[in-house]
Amino acid sequence: MGDPRGFLKVKKIAANYRPVCERIKDYMDVFLMRDENVSRDQASRCMDCGTAFCNWGCPLGNYIPEWNDFMFKGNWKKAWRLLDATNSMPEITGRICPALCEYSCVLGINDDPVTIRENELAITEYAFKKGWVKPAPPKKRTGKGVAVIGSGPAGLSCAAELNRKGHSVTVFERDGKIGGILRYGIPDFKLEKNILDRRIAVWKKEGIRFVTGANIGGGYKFAKERFDAVCVASGSRVPRDLAIEGRELKGIHFAMEYLTQANRLISGEKIKDDLINAGNKKVIVIGGGDTGADCVGLAHRQGASCVVQIELLPKPPECRAENDPWPKYPMLLKTSTSHQEGGQREWQILTRKFIGENGAVKKISCVKVAFEKNAATACPVMTEVPGSAFEIESDLVILAIGFLHTEKTGFLKELKAKFDKRGNILTGPGYETSAKGVFAAGDARRGQSLIVWTLWEGREAARNIDDYLKS
Ligand SMILES: Cc1cc2nc3c(=O)[nH]c(=O)nc-3n(C[C@H](O)[C@H](O)[C@H](O)COP(=O)(O)OP(=O)(O)OC[C@H]3O[C@@H](n4cnc5c(N)ncnc54)[C@H](O)[C@@H]3O)c2cc1C
Ligand code: SF4
């Protein structure tokens, strides 16, 4: 621990963002990197606790107190080596991880937690600047081949780990570019795609083979026999729909259709479908989560005249509730950078029907709802508030109400993969599916989650695949 009194002397410096009036006019990253000296100062706030709850809070088990200490002392290389040992894409988590670790930081009990995520980013960007993130191909190849299906963070971290162990890895991706939701879901104003390309370039030089436009089970010929093991990392992309009157009207889209199209356009790709553009439109985003927030940010950039985000559930508390104690990751109200840019947020609203004119959506009919606990089961029961029905005008509705499970495409059937009750791919504790030698990782296995969880899953699947190949 560099400075035992650091947390008493140095106050938290909150993340810095570009001014709203400026950033709303473009798609560039809203976040501003802070100075390296500020990061070192911030790292001195880490108390190097005897039991590092932050390390427990991070799904990857990042060595947080250790790299904070190294960074504070100016030993960036050692900090980088430790970070690189547990995290395959710290330049991504350092930017957009919800920082589960910071909610379990001991300093956070009665002060602001250490800015762990920004410290992680500072170390990573320093390492890239110094040229320490360079291709390190394995010295020897094992002669074993592994196919990874899907190039989101789960597939990529699995591929990177297996490649480091000397196996020959081919990543098959049905899209035109590598990255999964990092590429086509998350908007550029949260994650510019050159950050992703920089990492993929390193992995290519390390020997990972990437095949794009390869829809396994959907036209692309894939000979499973050519590989000694397969890892399915196909994500959880089947969107939850709202099967209510008027759903067929024009102007109602799933969030991923909307976000993907915008990301393609920004990167200069051609789009096949009709353009979904919020310009001068009254936009309603149904769903109060992070995906919905990304849609709010995009609608503002496209010049929407009005953006309203509605959510069925009650507004979460702004500080920890008693049943959500430290060091757990709490269910709190999240105000993202997109929310800071404008729009209105409403909670406890049920959408009853879409109302249209000439085949296109014009309004949505809603009602306020209340939640009460059932006396016998203690489960919350939703009821409509009498006399609270109302309508909101809208000519573009975005459905951001979550995802069900992975797409159960042909190859999963061919493999005779089994699914759990929620429709995710069922595996044993070693990530192996019901088909021998076929493993699964990421959202396809655990349901729609977070980047940090899927990176962990990819790495764990790789560890198990390596054991399988060695046996
Ligand atoms: C809009 C949005 C914003 C998000 N923002 C954040 C955030 O800010 N922070 C955070 O931590 N998490 C965020 N998440 C969650 C996070 O992005 C996901 O949990 C993560 O990307 C899942 O990784 P994955 O590799 O399992 O799947 P995905 O990223 O979904 O990748 C799966 C890949 O498999 C490919 N594929 C599927 N089937 C086939 C097939 N048959 N053949 C070939 N390829 C196939 C798909 O094309 C895709 O590229 C967000 C999610 C969404 C939807
Ligand atoms: S990956 Fe996320 S949870 Fe882990 S240390 Fe980084 S910011 Fe914290």
Q: Last residue of some domain: 105, 130, 155? A: 130
The pLDDT assigned to 306 comes to 97
Number of the ligand 2 atom closest to the C-alpha atom of 99: 7
List 285's β-bridge partners, or say none. 309, 398
Q: Tell me how far the alpha carbon of residue 214 lies from the centroid of ligand 1, in angstroms.
A: 16
Q: Tell me how far the alpha carbon of residue 290 lies from the centroid of ligand 1, in angstroms.
A: 14
Same domain, 350 and 448: no
Number of the ligand 2 atom closest to the C-alpha atom of 120: 6
Is 245 a member of any domain?
no
Q: Last residue of some domain: 399, 428, 450? A: 399
Q: Tell me how far the alpha carbon of residue 236 lies from the centroid of ligand 1, in angstroms.
A: 7
Closest CA to 471 of 434, 430, 425: 430
The answer for 272, left when phi > 0, alpha when psi is -120 to 50, beta otherwise, is alpha
- Residue-wise pLDDT for 307-340, tens only, equals 999 999 999 999 998 888 999 999 999 999 999 9
Per-residue pLDDT of the chain (471 residues; tens, 9 = 90+): 678 889 999 999 999 999 999 999 999 999 999 999 999 999 999 999 999 999 999 999 999 999 999 999 999 999 999 999 999 999 999 999 999 999 999 999 999 999 999 999 999 999 999 999 999 999 999 999 999 999 999 999 999 999 999 999 999 999 999 999 999 999 999 999 999 999 999 999 999 999 999 999 877 877 777 999 999 999 999 999 999 999 999 999 999 999 999 999 999 999 988 999 999 999 999 999 999 999 999 999 999 999 999 999 999 999 998 888 999 999 999 999 999 999 999 999 999 999 999 999 999 999 999 999 888 888 889 999 999 999 999 999 999 999 999 998 778 888 788 999 999 999 999 999 999 999 999 999 999 999 999 999 999 999 999 999 998
Is 1 a member of any domain?
no
Same domain, 117 and 174: no
Same domain, 261 and 376: yes
Is 247 a member of any domain?
no
Same domain, 311 and 325: yes
Total of domains in the chain: 3
What single-letter amino acid sits at 79?
Answer: A
Q: Last residue of some domain: 78, 104, 130? A: 130
What CATH number is associated with residue 101? 1.10.1060.10
Q: At what angle do helices 64-72 and 36-43 cross, to 10 degrees?
A: 130
Q: Tell me how far the alpha carbon of residue 122 lies from the centroid of ligand 2, in angstroms.
A: 13
Q: DSSP strand E in 275-348: where?
A: 282-286, 306-310, 344-346
Phi, psi of 77 (to 5 degrees): -65, -45
The pLDDT assigned to 57 comes to 97
Q: Tell me how far the alpha carbon of residue 221 lies from the centroid of ligand 2, in angstroms.
A: 38
Give the number of whichever ligand sits closest to the CA of residue 147.
Answer: 1
Is 242 a member of any domain?
no
Distances (CA, A) of 348 to 115, 318, 383, 398: 33, 17, 10, 17
Closest residue to atom 20 of ligand 1, CA basis: 451
Same domain, 368 and 419: no
Q: Quote the CA–CA distance of 309 and 26 in Å, as a whole number.
A: 21
Same domain, 210 and 298: no
Q: Tell me how far the alpha carbon of residue 424 lies from the centroid of ligand 2, in angstroms.
A: 25
Give the number of whichever ligand sits closest to the CA of residue 407.
Answer: 1
Regarding the beta carbon of 150 and ligand 1, being less than 6 Å apart is answered yes
Number of the ligand 1 atom closest to the C-alpha atom of 451: 11
Same domain, 275 and 379: yes
Same domain, 32 and 149: no
Q: Tell me how far the alpha carbon of residue 396 lies from the centroid of ligand 2, in angstroms.
A: 35
Give the number of whichever ligand sits closest to the CA of residue 62.
Answer: 2
Is 325 a member of any domain?
yes
- Counting ligand 1 atoms within 8 A of each CB, the residue from 178, 234, 257 with the most, and so the one to mutate, is 234
Give the number of whichever ligand sits closest to the CA of residue 445.
Answer: 1
H/E element, 82: helix 76-86
The pLDDT assigned to 129 comes to 98
Q: Quote the CA–CA distance of 257 and 204 in Å, as a whole number.
A: 29
- Counting ligand 1 atoms within 8 A of each CB, the residue from 181, 237, 257 with the most, and so the one to mutate, is 181
- Counting ligand 1 atoms within 8 A of each CB, the residue from 93, 170, 186, 190 with the most, and so the one to mutate, is 186
Same domain, 100 and 47: yes
Same domain, 271 and 227: no
Closest CA to 130 of 75, 210, 170, 59: 75
Q: Tell me how far the alpha carbon of residue 339 lies from the centroid of ligand 1, in angstroms.
A: 23
The pLDDT assigned to 215 comes to 92
Same domain, 43 and 123: yes
Could you tell me which residues come within 8 angstroms of residue 427 by beta carbon, excluding any fewer than 6 positions away? 433, 439, 440, 445
Is 333 a member of any domain?
yes
pTM, entire model: 0.97
Is 136 a member of any domain?
no
Angle at 48 between CA 47 and CA 50, to 5 degrees: 115
Is 139 a member of any domain?
no
Q: Which domain does 296 fall in, by range?
A: 252-399
What CATH number is associated with residue 361? 3.50.50.60
- Ligand 2 interacting residues, C-beta cut-off 6 A: 58, 60, 62, 64, 93, 97, 99-101, 116-117, 120, 452
Number of the ligand 2 atom closest to the C-alpha atom of 97: 2
Same domain, 387 and 411: no
